[in-house]
Structure formats: C-alpha cells, structure tokens
Structure 1
Amino acid sequence: MQPLGPDSLTWRFFGDNRALLAGPRAGILQLMLPSLGQGVMEHSVFFSDTFGRLKRSAGPILNTVYGGSEAARTGKRVRDYHVNIKGDMPGGERYHALDPETYFWAHATFLDHLIYSTETFMRPLTDAEKQRIYEESKTWYAMYGVSDRAMPEDWPAFQVYWKRMLNERLSAHKSATYSVGYAKKGLPRPRQIPEGAWKVLSLPLNAVARFLTVGGLPPEARDVLGLRWSRADERRYQRFAELVRSLGDLWSVLPDVVKYSAPARKAFRRDGRPAPLPRP
C-alpha cells in the first residue's frame, strides 16, 4: 500500500501546529482504556519522564503519516516497540499492547485528535471530508502492520464505535489520572527555575495548561476523571477557539517553521505541499 502524500487531507492538517491547542487529548484518552493504561504503568517511563516520553512518541507517529517511502518502516518500528508490553490486569485477565482492539484504540485517538483540532481551531469539515480523512486513516494504520479487525468499516461506523468507547469502555485508570494531575494541582516546578520565580510564572502557566487540557477533552472523559468544567468555562473555550479560527488568513502567511511540525515541513520539501482547499 502506498503511504499518504500531499493529496491527502491528513497531510494538510495533522502537522499543523494549531493542533497543539487541543492539548493532550489523544494521550489522555488512550490511557483511559484500562489495558493501555496498565501497559503504560508497568512498562513505560511515563511516570518518571512524562514529557520526554511524549516527545519521543510524537516523532514516530508523525512519521507514519509524513515519512513517504519510509512510513511503513517507521510504522513497523513503532509496532515492534510494543511486542513485549504485556502482562496481567488487576482482575487477572491478560493484556497485550498489540491486541487489535487495544492498538486500534490508540490509533483512533490520533484520528479523533486530527478531526477535533481541525474543526475546533482551523476550519469546519464537511461530512465528505471526514469520510475522506477516515479512509486515509486506514492507509495510515496499515503502516503499522497490525491486524485491522477492530477498525470500523467507514466514518459513520467509527462514530458509533467512538461513542461506545467513551460511554462504556473508559475508566479513571491510574495512568490517566496521573496524566491530568497537573490540571488539578498545577505543573511541577522545573529544576532550573528558582522557587520564587516559579511562584509567579506558575500562575498563568497553570491556568493555560488547565484550560487547554480540560477544555480539549470530551465531556464524557471529564466526568470519568472528575475534572470540573463549568458552562462559563465552555463559553470561554468556544470564544477562544472562534478567535483562533478567525485568524486563519493571518496564519496562512506565517513561515512554515511556525505553522507546521518538523516532519510535515520535511515532507513538504521532499514531496510537495498540499494543494489549496476551497473554503467550506
């Protein structure tokens, strides 16, 4: 199967840095699936090196989209990182990171993040565009060389799957509650910043981190994790999103180093930029 290229909507939107405004939506939702959260808790350095782990994971995932002829090789390396991530759940049942249902859930959260961040901070998507992105996600998922038996057939079926997962399968696993701890208690002080300076800096940083993290989660996830979010919070979040969308014309003239992730910029130089899209 040929990897994704400049003719795909995924190329256009996934590496756009405005997607960062959705916060750690994908990562938190991943950890709320008990089998995936357990694997991270028992086999990852997530707890001791949270930001380092996220940084190391982001590059390979982006390169399964933007890697061109190397995308499948990168995807299989990502898959092979998970071969030995297995063990027992607290209830005694076995888990394995390469179980098709578990592995697809991780991919599903990236697909959701792509669509959510695009519609929230970039532009609306038509139903046809969402279906197209979903079909592209099948190509993306094929780069991993993992069974696709858990993948819904089309975009409407994926929406049913997504609602079922949010309403029936997710939990406040220890890995997930740890991942949102800073949204409740504040960010940890970096060692290189003096305590006095951090007391001043942490106030706005904690407010922004909580706003983007909690605001970027589905309401079902907020409820499970016990994250407070008022109607006033939601109104502020929607006004912020509307402001970001309204600056799209200004965003379009900024240099690529500002607008896109490094893997996306490298792919654009190698294979060409996506063609302009008509306004929806």
Structure 2
Amino acid sequence: MTTQAERADQPEQPEQGDPGLFGPGSVTWRIHGDQSMALAGFRALSLQAVHPLVMAGFDDNTVWFEDMWGRLQRTGEWVGTVTYGTTREAERAGKILRSVHAALPPGVEPETGLAYKVDDPALLTWVHVTETESFLSTYRRCGGVLRPGDGDRYVDEMRESARLVGIDPSTVPASEADVEDYYADVRPQLHVTEVARRNTLKFMRPQMPRWVRVTTPARPAWAGLVTLGIAMLPPWARRLYGLPALPGSDALATLNGFALRRVLGTLPLVVSGNPMYGAALRRTRGLRAA
C-alpha cells in the first residue's frame, strides 16, 4: 500500500479530486473551516506558553513581535495547507517545517537551567496536543456541531499533522481520554515563566499603525480576543497564570465564545472564510463525504 509520503515523492500527477490528508468527510475539515478557529488560535498560544522549554524555544528563535502579523499569517497558511492542501502540498509544507526546526540551535531555559532542542519530540508533542485540544474545545464551546465520537475522531485524524512535524503518530494521543491522560502526565513540568508573562503582555498589546489604533477598534478587539482565549483555558492552566477561579467564569467564557462565533458567522465569507477551504471544496467536488 502506498503511503501519503510516498505519493508526495512520485512524479507530478493531476491533483483534481485529491482530498489531501483528511478530505471533505473529515471532522478536521469541519472544525478548521469554522469561525471559532480565530479564538482557538489565541487559546492554543496561551496554553503552549505554560511549558517553560517551549516558551524558551519560542523566545530564543523567533522575531514574532517584530513581524507578528507576518508570523500569524504564516501560521494560518500552515494550518490551511495541512488541512485543505493536496497531499503533495501538505507533505512539502511538513518537509520545510522539519528542516527549519532541525536547523535551529539548542538552547537553555533561563529559570530552570534545562537544555532544549526545538525539534525535541516531547516539545513538538506538547505543541501538537495543545493545538489539537484547543481547536476541538473551542469549537465545541462556541456551539460547533459534533456527533457522538467526533471528538475522538478529530484527535485521531490530527495524528497525521503530528507526523508532518516529525512526531511518531503512535506516540501522540488518539482520543480525548488520551489527551486528558497526557495533560495529567505533563502538568508537573509546567509553570508560567517571566519570559511567558512578558510575551503574553506583549501579545495583548501588539504594535499597530497609529491610524489603526486611533480610528479603529482593532486594539481593544484584539485584547478582548486574547483575554477570551485565556479565559477558555482549562482551570489548571488558568491557575498557572495566577487567575482566580471565579464562580461562573467557565460558563461566561463559553457564552462569550458562542456569541463571538455567531457574530463572525454574519460576516461575508470574503472576510471570515478560509480561501483554502473554498479551493479544496472545488477541487474535491463530487467526492462522497463520509
């Protein structure tokens, strides 16, 4: 049987009809094409930051705050290509990312003194799991439709994404219960470092052109999205940030997420839609959804 990776290395073939790594019947297509993904991204970044070694690798090897908008765009393009691109496009994106990670130098986390490598499978697994769980949790809490078993199916599907970044798919969670077990195992390693606090504050107040700050609600809207993303974190993660567990806070965050998704759903698709999703639908027209 030919694998996805082997097909990507074969001579060019017509790609019309290629479902890519997931296809139109997948839960991944449904979740990643939803308006809640904007909020889910903020939640994922906030959760990833509570791992000291992941945060150190981010801080030592990125120019995020000098080119934040470009970095966000490239991250969105990565998710879009892996989700909706052809098999060849997704495999090529994974190959490029793996080569970038492999070229980054090792470092040392300043507070713990622990050494790290960006392409350490343990650190890549943390990023993968927090991203997967954040996308699923946010979609669910914002009112996205999930049939029985869809959550487990999504976590299992996303192991293909783990493979692309260089993780053995058999070593990452394959179900929602596996995700909870993974979190329980890794939580003793987690805390919010000063680097994480500093970068979180920067992320809430990014650099914007003066005319944008003065004439648009972009800055308060951005801060509101980041704040809501943090509010939707698991209680144990919010405690790491030193946030109080106020009565009803989870329900309020869920209500606000639901309302945000409804508002985004009223915007024209040219604003809120994912163009890669549309291209994939056209490419796979006629394929039968599962």
What TM-score bracket applies, with the shorter chain setting the length? Answer: 0.7 to 0.9
Map 1:120-131; keep pairs closer than 5 Å. Answer: 120-131=141-152
Q: CA deviation at 1:125?
A: 3.1
Q: CA deviation at 1:257?
A: 3.2
Query: Counterpart amino acid of 1:141?
Result: A
1:82 maps to 2:98: no
Query: Counterpart amino acid of 2:54?
Result: L
Query: Counterpart amino acid of 2:26?
Result: S
Q: CA deviation at 1:101?
A: 0.8
| 1:31-56 Cα distance to aligned partner (Å, 9 max, x none) | 22121111111111124333332222
C-alpha change, 1:100 and 1:161, in structure 2 (3 Å) is: same
- Which stretch has the larger CA shift, 267-276 or 139-148? 267-276
Q: What is the TM-score with the length of structure 1 in the denominator?
A: 0.80
Q: Is the 8 A contact 1:28 1:179 kept in 2?
A: no
Q: 1:42 aligns with which of 42, 53, 60?
A: 60
Query: Counterpart amino acid of 1:81?
Result: V
Q: 1:262 aligns with which of 262, 267, 275?
A: 275
- The residue aligned with 1:117 is 138
Q: Is the 8 A contact 1:75 1:143 kept in 2?
A: yes
Q: CA deviation at 1:61?
A: 2.7
In structure 1, the residue corresponding to 2:165 is in which secondary structure? coil
RMSD value over aligned CA atoms? 3.3
Query: Counterpart amino acid of 1:75?
Result: G
- The residue aligned with 1:213 is 229
Q: Is the 8 A contact 1:79 1:146 kept in 2?
A: no
In structure 2, the residue corresponding to 1:24 is in which secondary structure? helix
Q: Is the 8 A contact 1:172 1:225 kept in 2?
A: yes
Q: Take 2:287 and 2:232, find their aligned partners in 1: how far apart are those partners?
A: 27
Q: Is the 8 A contact 1:37 1:176 kept in 2?
A: yes
Provide the aligned length of Structure 1 versus Structure 2: 269
C-alpha change, 1:84 and 1:65, in structure 2 (3 Å) is: same
Q: Is the 8 A contact 2:121 2:166 kept in 1?
A: no
In structure 2, the residue corresponding to 1:141 is in which secondary structure? helix
Q: Is the 8 A contact 2:36 2:142 kept in 1?
A: yes
- The residue aligned with 1:14 is 32
Q: What is the TM-score with the length of structure 2 in the denominator?
A: 0.77
Query: Counterpart amino acid of 1:162?
Result: Y
Query: Counterpart amino acid of 2:94?
Result: G
Gaps of 5+ in 1: none
Q: Take 2:210 and 2:286, find their aligned partners in 1: how far apart are those partners?
A: 40
Gaps of 5+ in 2: 5-20
Q: CA deviation at 1:153?
A: 4.9
